[in-house]
Amino acid sequence: MPYRPETSEFVAAFASTAEPQEKPAGKPAPFRRARSWSAALLFLGGVGLSSAELRAQTIVAPSARTLFNRATLVRLSVEVRHSSLRTDGRSTAVTQYVPVLAVVYGFRPNWTIIVAQPYAVVDVTNRMGDETRRESLNGLADTRVFIQYDGLYRRNTPGGLTRLSAVFGVQVPTGADRFSTGAVAYTGGMIFQKAVRLKHVFTGDFEYTRATENRRGLSMGDRIRFDAALSRFVISQDKAPPGASWPRKAFDRIFRYGAYFVLELNGTWQARARTRGTPIPDSGGTMLSVSPGIQWFLSNAFLVEISAPIPVVKALSGKQPKPNSTFLLGFRILFF
């Protein structure tokens, strides 16, 4: 899973990794801390998880959906995020590439387990005057495991459904030293989904993540995530006749298996990070993005999805890199 607003995690990690041995003597201030920024920025945006069924209706947000019992789904996504910070004549530009491999398994009716492993590549460019310094880091990030139960409430109607799901997850510190929070985080939440005539779908969710301290006494701060998504399903109803116009034939080829046009509202509130109970000033805040996207079905068991979240609220506390743009490309494959 989409980001992301977890910017304060970057700054907290930056504060915790600013070791004296990583500050080369004689370098200007922004470059003395470049390596620390590089490590810290790996946490910017976190990793968005969607518990995924092939007939999905959200891309960035988690969503309520149920796999067939004993069915398996594999989701591979790559998210590219650009952020920047300008202060006191210095500038920092960050580009992140975050591929995530998620495996989803319906182990019982209404029960789904999701295991996601992200990988992070971060390019950081620091500029001060005529001097420029670039750095690139990469490595495994922390593993996330989620359990989703879709039986809290459900009502099926001809061509539609209403469903309320519960989700619980844990993030374990399995990543490389510079790509891990070093602590366990717990997530609990609710997901609501309403589908009408199998064409119009609304999804809303609310999740709360409880952060714990690592061995250095650093906590990334609790986080609230909230999302709402509207989706419209489009599919070619009948095969184009031989004498049909080329737009009609093209529509039939492109939408033979259907596509969802998706518009999401993704929000996050992040508490300040803390070091042994002391708040870190440059951390925490609220982010809100509008995310248009499309899920295109190439077969009954394979889809391609694209989303481009647009940040509309960037109310981050203190001096933190602010997101400029994000792009997500993903694939989902369903195995029965």
Written as six digits, the tokens of 169 are: 């997850």
- CA 67, chain centre distance (Å): 21
Residue burial 40-68, b: 16+ Cβ < 10 Å; e: rest: bbbbbbbbbbbbbbbbbbbbbbbbbbbbe
Please answer whether residues 113 and 83 qualify as being in contact, where contact means their C-beta atoms are separated by less than 8 angstroms.
Answer: no
Supply angle C-alpha 328, 287, 289, rounded to 5: 45
* φ/ψ (deg, to 5) at 244: -70, 155
The answer to whether residue 37 scores a pLDDT higher than 90 is no
Q: Which residues are 334's β-sheet partners?
A: 73
Map residue 8 onto helix, strand or coil.
helix
Q: State residue 38's pLDDT score.
A: 35
Where does 129-271 show beta strands of DSSP type E? 131-140, 143-157, 160-172, 185-196, 200-211, 218-219, 223-234, 259-270
Q: Which residue has the higher pLDDT, 32 or 167?
A: 167
For residue 255, give the 3-state DSSP assignment. Answer: coil
Tell me, what amino acid is at 317?
Answer: S
What is the C-alpha separation between 148 and 111, in angstroms, rounded? 6
Question: Is the pLDDT higher at 5 or at 200?
Answer: 200
Q: Are 312 and 291 in contact (CB under 8 A)?
A: no
Calpha distance 251→41 (Å, rounded):
43
Query: In whole angstroms, what separates CA 62 from the centre of its chain?
Result: 9
Spatial contact of 3 and 118, defined as CB atoms under 8 Å apart: no
Interval 10-30 mean pLDDT: 38
**What's the CA gap between 110 and 320, in Å, rounded?**
41
Q: Any idea of the CA torsion for 33, 35, 40, 45, to the nearest 10 degrees? A: 110
Which pTM does this prediction carry? 0.81
Q: Which CATH number describes the domain made up of 7-335?
A: 2.40.160.40
Summarised one tens digit per residue, pLDDT across range 128-175 is 888 899 999 999 999 999 999 998 998 888 878 899 999 999 999 999
* 120-124, 250-254, 330-334: segment of lowest average pLDDT: 250-254
Which distant-in-sequence residues (6+ apart) come within 8 Å of 177 by Cβ? none
Contact 109, 148 (CB under 8 A): no
> What is the arithmetic mean of pLDDT over 246-257?
83
CB neighbours of 232 closer than 8 A, spacing ≥ 6? 199, 200, 201, 260, 261
Residue 43 pLDDT grade (very low, low, confident, very high; cuts 50, 70, 90): very low
Q: What is the mean pLDDT of residues 194-202?
A: 87
pLDDT value, residue 174: 93
Summary mean pLDDT of the chain: 81
- As a whole number, mean pLDDT of residues 72-97 equals 91
CA angle 23, 27, 31 (to 5 degrees): 70
Q: Which residues pair with 177 in a beta bridge?
A: none
**Do 212 and 228 contact (CB within 8 A), yes or no?**
no
CA distance linking residue 137 with residue 120, whole number of Å: 8
For residue 292, pLDDT beyond 90:
yes
Look up tokens 């391609």; give the residue: 304
Tell whether the model's pLDDT for residue 9 goes beyond 50.
Answer: no
